[in-house]
Amino acid sequence: MLSAIFMGTLLGTLFSRGLLRHLRSRGKALRPNRKRNCARQPERRAFAASSVAEGSRTMIALDFDSPEPLYQQIYRSIRDDITARTIPAGTKLTAIRRLADDLHVARNTVEGAYLQLATEGYVASRPGSGYIVEDLDFDSLGTPGSAARRARQRIEEGVRSSDRFGNEPFSRHMTFTYDFTYGDRPAGSFPAQIWRSLTDEALFTANNKTACYGNGLGEPSLRKQIARRVHVSRGVNCAAEQVVIQPGTQVALDNLLTLFDPAHDAVAMEEPGYDGVSTVLRNRGFRCTPIPVRPLEGKTCGSQAFFDALEASGAKLAFCTPSNQFPTGATMPLSSRIKMLEWAKRTGAYIIEDDYCREFRYETRPIPSLQSLDENDRVIYMGTFSKVLSPALRMSYLVLPPDLLARWRQTFANYYCPVPWLSQETLRLFMKEGHWDRYARKTVTEYRKRRNTLMAAIERELGEHVDVLGGHAGLHLLMRTRDERGQNELVEAAKAHDVRVYKTEKYWMGTPHSMGDYVLVGFSSIKTELIDEGIRHLARAWF
Judge contact between 366 and 359, C-beta under 8 A. Answer: yes
pLDDT at position 151 is 67
The pLDDT of residue 12 is above 70: no
pLDDT (0 to 100) of residue 47: 55
Confidence of residue 158 (pLDDT cuts 50, 70, 90): low
Residue 138: per-residue pLDDT? 81
| Mean of pLDDT values over 188-211 | 90
Indicate the SS3 state at residue 253. Answer: helix
Q: What is the DSSP string of 29-52?
A: HHHHHHHHHHHHSPPSS-EEES-S
Give the three-class secondary structure for 331. Answer: strand
pLDDT value of position 381: 98
pLDDT of residue 543: 93
How do the domains of the chain map onto residue ranges?
Answer: 51-133, 192-433, 439-542
Span 282-327, pLDDT tens digits: 999 999 999 998 644 343 444 788 999 999 999 999 999 999 999 9
pTM: 0.77
pLDDT, mean over the chain: 85
Most confident of 5-19, 138-152, 293-307: 138-152
User: Percent helix, strand, coil in the chain (nearest 5)?
Assistant: 45, 15, 40
**Section 154-161 average pLDDT:** 62
Residue 503 pairs in a beta bridge with 519
Question: Domain 51-133, what architecture?
Answer: Orthogonal Bundle (1.10)
CATH number (3.20.20.70, 3.40.50.1860, 3.90.1150.10, 3.40.50.11540) of 439-542 reads: 3.90.1150.10
User: Which range among 199-213, 220-234, 262-276, 404-418 shows the weakest confidence by mean pLDDT?
Assistant: 199-213
- In tens, the pLDDT along 270-283 reads 999 999 999 999 99
Q: How confident is the model at residue 4 (pLDDT cuts 50, 70, 90)?
A: very low
Q: Compute CA distances 85 → 90, 142, 438, whole Å.
A: 11, 13, 68
CATH, domain 192-433, list 3.40.640.10, 3.30.70.1290, 3.30.2230.10, 3.40.50.300? 3.40.640.10
pLDDT at 20 > cutoff 50? no
Tens digit of each residue's pLDDT (9 = 90 or more) over 352-378: 999 998 888 888 887 889 999 999 999
Answer whether 540's CB lies under 8 Å from 501's CB.
no
pLDDT at position 110 is 94
Q: Is the dihedral of CA 258, 368, 442, 528 positive or negative?
A: positive
How far is the C-alpha of 245 from the C-alpha of 420, rounded, in Å?
Answer: 10
Please tell me the number of Cα atoms within 13 Å of 338 on its side-chain side.
3
| % of the chain surpassing 70 pLDDT | 81
Residue type, 361: R
Which residues have a Cβ under 8 Å from the Cβ of 376 and sit 6 or more positions away?
Answer: 341, 344, 345
pLDDT, one tens digit per residue, over 390-410 is: 999 999 999 999 999 999 999
